[in-house]
Every structure is written in structure tokens, then in C-alpha cells.
Amino acid sequence: MIFFSTVLFTQNLSAQRDRNDIDPKYKWDLTHLYPSDEAWKISLENQMPKVDELVSYRGKLSTNAKTLFTFLEKQSNLYKEMSRLYSYASMKADEDTGNAFYQGMNQEISQKFSIAGSKMSFVSPELAAIPKETIDKFMKQQPKLKTYAQFFDNLYRQQKYILSDKEERIIAEAGKLKQAPYNIYNIFSNAEMPFPTITLSTGEKLYLDQAAYTKHRSNENAADRALVFREFWKSFENYKSTFAQQLYANINADVFTKNARGYNSCLESSISANNIPVEVYHSLIANINKNLPTFHRYLNIKKRLLGVDTLKYSDTYASGVKGVEMMFDYEKGKDLVVNATKPLGESYYSVVARAFDEGWVDMYPSKGKRSGAYSNGSAYDVHPYVLMNYNDDFDGVTTLAHEFGHAMHSYLSNKNQAFANADYSIFVAEVASTVNERLLAKLILEETTEKNARLSLLMDILDGFRTTLFRQTQFAEFELKIHEAVENGQPLTADVLNAMYKDILYRYYGHNEGICNIEDLYAVEWAYIPHFYYNFYVYQYATSFTASVALGQDILNGTPGATDKYLKFLSSGSSKYPIDLLKETGVDMTSEVPFVKAMEAMNYYMDEVEKLLGK
């Protein structure tokens, strides 16, 4: 279980490795989308006339049931193909963020989406103007229209925020501007931003880019960890004003949308589409702050394991269990992910197993490749894709399980829902990923009996509570504050952002109480987080995590009906509102129960650690 494959290269070397030198079996196969760039180009050119054809329906959507259904089907087919086009271009661009040709393709499809959105801006106002009684009559006359029942329910629910045809067209055009801040951030931070070369205590020279930072921030040597943190964050500090302007521009775009549509806040504007009460967001932040003593208990355990007088922020990724090298090469990581999902049934884990052999996964980092990991399930008629920057460690295999949770959610939704209902809400997106993490943790713990190895794994699980529940809520609180600042006309300079972030960081990590020391330099961490460009995305990691605790426990305990309910949930797409979909599994996110269960689980794991350590 604990080994390192010499066939594979380390994260530091692979980050500089040319993509052409990586074995094709470790790379995704995008020819499943289009056999060539030329085929992609031909398909793109074929779509724009379809947009003009749809525009010809303007003013006719209320004519009769047949006309309305024909239009909606043609619109759905157009967006399905354009999503496939976007998937190909964006993933080719992510293979090398410095490749101008594929960046150009990515920009081209984005522009076409904006053009289509602008031309189709008449649709929502025209549909919203049709009386609900007429739509109900149409559905009786044309039963296939019921495919769009959830769409119409959501449309009428948000009717007061739908603007005139002309105003909707302006907002659609403004969508081109909305993309700019993140696109600049992505290319600069991944391809053009200079990073330092440092020398570790071992004499190893290390080019400290994002991939190397991810690997070496958990270095067993405290001095090396401090060096990695200090030099990496200096790089962001050097460009903090640039990052501040990008983030400020992004938030202003959110404020523009909020003001144009008449929402009370950017938060409400963002989560209203999925019918999520703003109270869910505020309740998450309040509950986490109320339970910071539980988080501080974890930090004190980390301090005890590391044997340090003062726990530093640069220590938070270290395992604290020396002499245990938990390494999982590609084959072991793949097998663990497949075996961990067996409680979900053969129909689930068999798809995961064959995905590795069918070109779903792009496994290893290479020069210029987009950092991090994601699953792309928007190619409805093909299959999901998974981008990884795999480390041969517990974090790497956990991330792999996480992304396959997303991939299987997309696979099952696409398989069981019409395209119109297949794209599930962001609010429930992280449930599937974190359930997979819990299944994986359970399996690895069952396979591990040696004390230190078990201790290391328990701490890795607890680290997941830190990074997914507490850290993401910390981000969510910061994101809310910076949006509220701009909404109130306050400036967001780099120094202001640093001060706001540091205040939250101090509170969460108990800096003033002596729990964990935070150096001022680390206040620039906000500049590193791409999710701040995603418009209130991060809180859903935390809410989904709490939901996954309850769901995962029921599945592992063999609770009657739990697995069937969960698979039905994964297959439901957006056929119902996310809060309602979760309620059908027995999880009510409008209550505190899932959060309480998450805290109980965290305390259970800490109890297990303390038993191994001895009181």
C-alpha cells in the first residue's frame, strides 16, 4: 500500500516535462469529441446559421404547442453542440495555457456563445410573457413539452428579474466583458507569471510554480515548508495590485448584473437561479464560526503531532506523522478509486473502471498545463473528461476520487435526463465528489492497521475537513465581504483585500489566541484562489461536504434504500430544485442537522487520533 513507482516521475520534474513525452495512456482522448481541429471548425461554422433560424421564431413562441416544442428542441440541440464545441476548445487550451492557437479557439467559441446569447435574448422575455395557463394547456396538447416543465417553473419563479428584449440583449453582450478578468488571471498565473527557484535543505533545486508548491507545502522539513510558503507567496505579493484589479473588475461585473436585474445583492443574484435561500449561505458561515473551537481542537492535535512550540500557517499541510510515506502510484490510485466505489454497485464502479482505458482522464502535469483538477461533463453525447495534475500521494488519489464523483454525476445525469435537464446545479455538484472521498477514506482505513500509517490517514481525513469545510467557508465569508464592499461603493485595492483576508484568517486559525501563527505575507493568499472568479461557488463545497457526510454514512452502513436513493439523485440532473433533490435522499440543507452530523464525524476522527496518541 505504501510505495512509490519508479516508472513515474515526481511532481516537480513532471511539471516541467513536455506533454509530448507523456505516454498517451495517461492523456485524455479529445478525438471522441472531434477527430481534428478542422472538424471542430466545420461544426462551429455550421452552428451559427442555426442561431439565425431560431431567431426567425421571434414573436411566434405563443402561437401553438407544436411551434413552441419545435423551437425548444432546436434551441436545446444548438446549445448541446455548442457545449461540445466549447469543451473541446477549452480542454485543448488547458493542455498548454501558453498555446496561442488553442487559446484563440477558446476565445472564438466564447465569442460565438456571446453572439448566440445576444441574438437569443428575446427568448426569456417572450416566454415569460406567455400566461402560465397557456403553457399548461400546451403541455396537455403536446406531452413532450413536459420535458421543459422544470424550466418553465423556474422561469415563472424568476419572472420579475427578466428584463425587456433590448435589455436582455445588452446583458448578453456584456457577457463578453465578464469573461475577461478570469481569462487574464488564468493565463497569467498558469503560463506567464514568474516563479522563483529555491534550494531545499536536501540541496534539491526546485522551480516553485503552483504544481511544485502543491507538492512541497507538505514537506516533512519545517524549514523547507517555511521556505516554500515564504517564496511562493512573495511571488503573489509582487503582483498583488494586478490581481486586485482583476478581481475588482470581476466583482464589478457581478454588481452590474445584480443592479440590472434588480436583485437585492450579488449573493441573491448568484444563488436565486437554483432557488437556494440566502439564509443557507449565511447559516453556513454562522455555524462554522460557532464551531471554530472544534477546528482549533484539530489545529492543536496538528501542533502536538508536529512537536512544535508554535504551530505556523506553513505547518498546516504537513502530516505530522514522520516515517510514513503514503504513496499511491497511478495503478494503485486507480484501483483504490474503483474499489472504493463498489458500495455504489456494479453499474457505477464498472464505468469508473473502464473510464481509465477509454481516454477520459488527463493524468499528469506538464509544462504550461492548467493547474488543479476538474471534471468536464458538458459533452452530453460523449462522456465526461477529467483533468488531473496527479501527485503520487493521498491528496492525489483523493482528488482523483473527487473528480470521478463529478464525472459519474454527469455521466448518470446525461444518461437519464434530456439535455434540457441534464446540467445539474452547482449547489449539488460537490455532493457526489465528496461522497466519493468518504468512500475512499473508509476503504483505505480498512486496509491500514499499522499505527503510524493509520494515524497518518486519519490526519489526512481531518485535513479534508479543514480544506473542504472550514477553508471553503473561510473563502465564502471573504467572497461575501468583498462583494458587499463593492456593492457599498468601497474600493478594493490590494492592501484592502489583504487586510480583509487577514482578519478572517486570524479568526479562523485562532492567531490572536495563540492557536496558529499567521505571517502578514500570507494575507495575499486570496490572489491565488481561482474560485473567487466563479461568483459564489466556494460555499457549495462546504454545504455539499455536510450533505455527503450523512449520505456516505448511510451508504456505508447499508441503510436500506440509501444507495438507490443516492443513484437516483445522481441521475436526476436539474429535473427538480437542488434543495428538493437532497430532501428526497433524506438530507435537509435548510436545517442544521447535516452540519451537526459533520461536526460529529470530525470529532469522531479526532477521538480516534487521540486514542492512538494516548491522552
In whole angstroms, give the CA distance from residue 615 to residue 613: 7
**Can you list the positions of beta strands (E) in 385-529?**
385-387
Count of helix runs (H) and strand runs (E) in the chain: 26, 5
Give yes or no for a contact between 71 and 62, defined as CB atoms under 8 angstroms apart.
no
Return d(Cα 65, Cα 136) in angstroms, integer. Answer: 10
Of 373, 372, 363, nearest to 27 by C-alpha is 363
Counted residue by residue, the chain has a size of 615
Residue 537: count of CB within 10 angstroms of its CB:
20
Contact (CB, 8 A) for 409 and 424: yes
Bridging pattern class, strands 205-207 and 197-199 = antiparallel
Cα angle vertex 263, ends 544, 252, to 5°?
85
Is 192 exposed, middle or buried, given 0-12, 13-18 or 19+ CB atoms closer than 10 A?
exposed
Check if the beta carbon of residue 226 is closer than 8 Å to that of residue 312: yes
Q: Which among 95, 403, 437, 477 is annotated as catalytic?
A: 403
Q: Which residue has the cell 411551434?
A: 67
403 is catalytic: yes
CA distance 579 to 288: 20
Dihedral sign from CA coordinates of 13, 18, 23, 26 = positive
| Three-state SS at 78 | helix
Rounded (to 5) percent helix, strand, coil in the chain:
70, 5, 30
Q: Residue 50: exposed, middle, or buried by beta-carbon count in 10 A (0-12, 13-18, 19+)?
A: middle
Copy the grid coordinates of residue 593.
Answer: 442537522
3-state secondary structure of 205: strand
> Between the CA atoms of 93, 99, 100 and 104, what dihedral angle is there, to the nearest 10 degrees?
-10
- The residues carrying an active-site annotation are 403
